[in-house]
């Protein structure tokens, strides 16, 4: 059985662990907090139960997938047994650097290491490992089990063999791999966060309400979700962090975080995760806040 280690049991890590278990990989789901692992396993179980109810899988298949996922609070011995390692910790460059320095001595001879970063240039992270040619970006989209795209990022040292292997794995997951070169935010988030930031500026300038900004993008541009609702879904703290990374690296004014976004995060309004952002979230009830 093929083995993948997923480091970080947050929303993205849980989704990645699930999709690999669905194609029969043995998955080490690693996090430093037991509560994160417990939450991830509950989410995976709920997702697979829904698919079982819809007759996509049998109960036996669901149980087999869940058994494929081995949770752990340590990684030292597990990494040496993995053919692929995917880092999914928070979007904090210093935390990622520390992790890659820590795991470097525990890697097997031919393992591929991938980062799920959505904005941090990967070549600098690759330089922390002994074999940067086997380092690559795998930017999964949220929610991972649903979204088809995986943005595959080529670092300056990434080998063609590594790229071919990862593209084949993405296709094995029944997803579409799109290969891009290393750049802050890559393609998906350079486009998306320029849009989100501009939407916040429009709201701050009182050109239109949050609800109407989102309605315009949904009805006029066929977006499934408006940019402000999407920002709430992503997490306003995450949006702010990504914009700060891109502004710092690209020095383009369009990525300078809007003051309203900064103000909301500083006041603890983080979006759907805590019920308050550009909208007020109460279960399925979503009401636009007044700014």
Q: Is 131 known to be catalytic?
A: no
How many whole angstroms separate alpha carbon 155 and alpha carbon 132?
8
Helices (H), the chain: 11-21, 34-53, 59-67, 76-79, 93-103, 122-126, 160-172, 188-204, 210-221, 227-234, 236-250, 259-266
Local structure of residue 75 (DSSP, 8 states): -
The residue from 82, 91, 139, 197 that is catalytic is: 139
| Residue found under tokens 């590594």 | 162
Q: Is 133 known to be catalytic?
A: no
Phi, psi of 112, deg, nearest 5: -100, 135
How many whole angstroms separate alpha carbon 74 and alpha carbon 152?
27
Task: Extract the tokens encoding 43.
Answer: 């989410």
The residue from 36, 82, 118, 119 that is catalytic is: 118
The residue from 123, 189, 197, 276 that is catalytic is: 189
The residue from 82, 151, 197, 276 that is catalytic is: 151
Q: Is 116 known to be catalytic?
A: no
Q: Is 106 known to be catalytic?
A: no
**Catalytic positions:** 118, 139, 151, 189
């Amino acid at each position: 059985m093929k083995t993948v280690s997923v480091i970080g049991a947050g929303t993205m890590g849980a989704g990645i662990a699930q999709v690999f278990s669905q194609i029969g990989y043995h998955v080490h789901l690693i996090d430093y907090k037991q509560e994160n692992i417990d939450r991830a396993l509950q989410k995976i179980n709920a997702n697979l139960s829904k698919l079982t109810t819809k007759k996509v899988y049998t109960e036996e298949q669901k149980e087999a997938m869940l058994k494929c996922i081995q949770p752990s609070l340590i990684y030292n011995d597990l990494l040496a047994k993995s053919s692929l390692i995917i880092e999914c910790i928070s979007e904090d460059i210093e935390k990622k650097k520390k992790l890659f320095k820590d795991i470097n001595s525990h890697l097997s001879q031919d393992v591929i290491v991938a980062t799920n970063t959505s904005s941090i240039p990967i070549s600098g992270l690759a330089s922390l490992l002994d074999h940067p040619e086997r380092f690559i970006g795998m930017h999964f989209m949220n929610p991972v089990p649903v979204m088809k795209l995986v943005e595959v990022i080529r670092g300056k040292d990434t080998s063609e063999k590594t790229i071919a292997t990862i593209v084949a794995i993405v296709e094995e997951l029944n997803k579409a791999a799109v290969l891009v070169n290393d750049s802050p935010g890559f393609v998906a988030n350079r486009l998306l966060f320029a849009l989100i930031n501009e939407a916040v500026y429009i709201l701050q300038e009182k050109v239109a309400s949050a609800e109407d900004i989102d309605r315009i993008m949904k009805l006029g541009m066929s977006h499934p979700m408006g940019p402000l609702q999407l920002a709430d879904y992503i997490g306003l703290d995450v949006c702010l962090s990504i914009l700060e990374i891109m502004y710092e690296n690209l020095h383009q004014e369009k990525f300078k975080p809007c003051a309203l976004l900064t103000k909301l995060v500083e006041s603890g309004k983080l979006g759907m995760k805590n019920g308050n952002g550009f909208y007020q979230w109460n279960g399925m009830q979503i009401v636009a806040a007044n700014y």
